């Protein structure tokens, strides 16, 4: 059996976004789980997000759990509630509230995770070395000039799901019909690896309003409202896919939806969408609206598309959470290049990952957690 056909790792290597920007507030500690790790996030004196292991290297106290008045961020450092040691953005212990002999403090250090903040989201590098990303986050070099500020929501938990199920769906042509009731008018560029190394496609699709609704009436009325649109989709990794859709019905407005999938623990993922719309309407009323409220019609559209995209996972969620990974599926010609996608995905597998048939039933899917 080819390695790429075996069950992919849940804790793959790449950039992932476990948090929204608004979840890390200056002066406060945020506790969260990421790839099975208990972590804390806070903002340093320059407002930069810092992510550290939750357990203090001194005696294992949890940096984010103590009495409310004992959990602090002071001068951009996190203070452990157990003995009052302070750690800076580099994970270095810089002082102890009750320490007189400061000589030993420099030996107290915890390795910070590599973080980027963009698109109202916080991204973390997950790799063999948490301090050395083997590639930069794709958004770092993108220009969002002319786009509305990114909006996002808390997304939804997929419990359980295989990390690779959501992105594999993007090349799964038949599921667009069966799950989303979209129609494929034309394949302009067939899904495959592009010159940027992403797995991308350009499709001309038809969307129908309310097609997934459980209400008969909504579906009946909805069939009169729909639109063709150009669907430019690129999977950058198991945790990041970017779709840009231009919608002729809306005067050719371009809507960007970023789909973020992040493993929280050994079985579950969170899926979250970020939306932004390219500013396109230079009408007087829109300019006035922008002047008065600071938001234009495109900002309203971004929120609307965020709502639509988040809800569009209703049908997928049921499939993903009940689906079983098959190492020997029976592909049909109409399926789309799912096998090519599995081959492409191998690059995100940790070298020491042992796929399912080689591990004992019920054992951890990860052989070793190299960065721990
Ligand atoms: S365990 Fe954190 S200061 Fe001692
Ligand atoms: Fe889907």
Q: C-alpha distances in angstroms, 85 versus 27, 37, 94, 336? A: 16, 22, 8, 55
- What pLDDT digit, counting tens, does each position of 224-265 carry? 777 888 999 999 999 999 999 987 777 778 999 999 999 999
Atom of ligand 1 lying closest to residue 96 CA: 3
pLDDT of amino acid 357: 59
DSSP calls for 146-164? TBPPPEE---EEESS--TT
Atom 3 in ligand 1: which residue has the minimum CA distance? 83
Are 86 and 74 in contact by the 8 Å Cβ rule? The answer is yes
Q: How remote is the CA of residue 203 from the centroid of ligand 1, in Å?
A: 55
Whole-prediction pTM: 0.92
Are 6 and 327 in contact by the 8 Å Cβ rule? The answer is yes
Q: Which of 43, 38, 35, 44 is nearest to 64 (CA)?
A: 38
Q: How remote is the CA of residue 57 from the centroid of ligand 1, in Å?
A: 7
Q: Rounded distance, CA 322 to CA 330, Å? A: 18
Q: Rounded distance, CA 8 to CA 56, Å? A: 32
For every residue of 52-112, which 3-state class applies, written as one string? EECECCCCCCECCCCCHHHCEEECCEEECCCCCEEECCCCEEEEECCCCCHHHHHHCECCC
Ligand nearest to the CA of 86: 1
Q: How remote is the CA of residue 63 from the centroid of ligand 1, in Å?
A: 8
pLDDT of amino acid 362: 45
Atom of ligand 1 lying closest to residue 56 CA: 2
pLDDT of amino acid 139: 97
Q: Which one of 54, 58, 94 would you pick to mutate in the ligand 1 pocket, going by the greatest count of ligand atoms within 8 A of its CB?
A: 58
Are 281 and 298 in contact by the 8 Å Cβ rule? The answer is yes
Ligand nearest to the CA of 315: 2
Q: Rounded distance, CA 365 to CA 263, Å? A: 13
Ligand nearest to the CA of 181: 2
Ligand nearest to the CA of 180: 2
Q: How remote is the CA of residue 41 from the centroid of ligand 1, in Å?
A: 17
Domains of the chain (ranges plus CATH)?
3-126 (2.102.10.10), 153-347 (3.90.380.10)
- What pLDDT digit, counting tens, does each position of 312-349 carry? 899 999 999 999 999 999 999 999 999 999 999 999 99
Residues of the chain with pLDDT under 50: 359-372
Ligand 1 is surrounded, with C-beta below 6 A, by: 56, 58-61, 80, 82-83, 85
Q: Which one of 82, 86, 94 would you pick to mutate in the ligand 1 pocket, going by the greatest count of ligand atoms within 8 A of its CB?
A: 82
pLDDT of amino acid 56: 98
Atom of ligand 1 lying closest to residue 60 CA: 1
**Helix 297-311 vs helix 313-322: crossing angle, to nearest 10:** 30
Q: Rounded distance, CA 305 to CA 209, Å? A: 12
């Amino acid at each position: 059996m080819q390695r790429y056909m075996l069950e992919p790792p849940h804790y793959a290597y790449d950039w992932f976004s476990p948090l929204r920007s608004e979840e890390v507030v200056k002066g406060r500690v945020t506790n969260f789980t990421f790839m099975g790790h208990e972590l804390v996030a806070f903002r340093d004196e320059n407002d930069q997000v810092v992510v550290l292991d939750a357990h203090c290297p001194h005696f294992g106290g949890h940096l984010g759990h103590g009495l409310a008045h004992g959990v602090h961020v002071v001068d951009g450092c996190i203070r452990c509630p157990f003995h009052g040691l302070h750690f800076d953005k580099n994970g270095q212990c810089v002082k102890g509230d009750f320490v007189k002999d400061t000589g030993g403090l420099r030996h107290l250090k915890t390795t910070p995770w590599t973080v980027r903040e963009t698109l109202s989201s916080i991204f973390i590098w997950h790799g063999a070395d948490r301090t050395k990303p083997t590639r930069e986050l794709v958004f770092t070099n993108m220009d969002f000039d002319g786009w509305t500020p990114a909006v996002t929501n808390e997304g939804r938990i997929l419990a359980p799901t295989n990390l690779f199920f959501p992105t594999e769906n993007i090349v799964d042509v038949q599921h667009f019909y069966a799950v989303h009731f979209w129609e494929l008018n034309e394949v302009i560029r067939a899904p495959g690896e592009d010159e940027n190394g992403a797995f991308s496609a350009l499709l001309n699709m038809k969307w129908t309003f309310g097609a997934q609704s459980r209400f008969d009436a909504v579906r009946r009325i909805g069939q009169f409202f729909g639109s063709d649109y150009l669907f430019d989709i690129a999977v950058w990794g198991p945790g990041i896919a970017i779709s840009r859709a231009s919608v002729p019905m809306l005067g050719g407005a371009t809507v960007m939806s970023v789909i973020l999938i992040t493993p929280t623990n050994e079985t579950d993922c969170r899926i979250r969408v970020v939306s932004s719309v390219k500013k396109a309407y230079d009408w007087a009323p829109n300019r006035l609206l922008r002047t008065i409220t600071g938001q234009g019609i495109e900002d309203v559209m971004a929120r609307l598309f965020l709502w639509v995209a988040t809800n569009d996972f209703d049908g997928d969620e049921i499939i993903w959470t009940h689906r079983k990974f098959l190492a020997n599926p029976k592909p049909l010609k109409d399926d789309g290049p799912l096998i090519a996608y599995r081959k492409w995905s191998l690059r995100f597998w940790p070298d020491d990952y042992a796929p399912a048939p080689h591990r004992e039933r019920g054992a951890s899917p990860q052989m070793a957690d190299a960065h721990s």
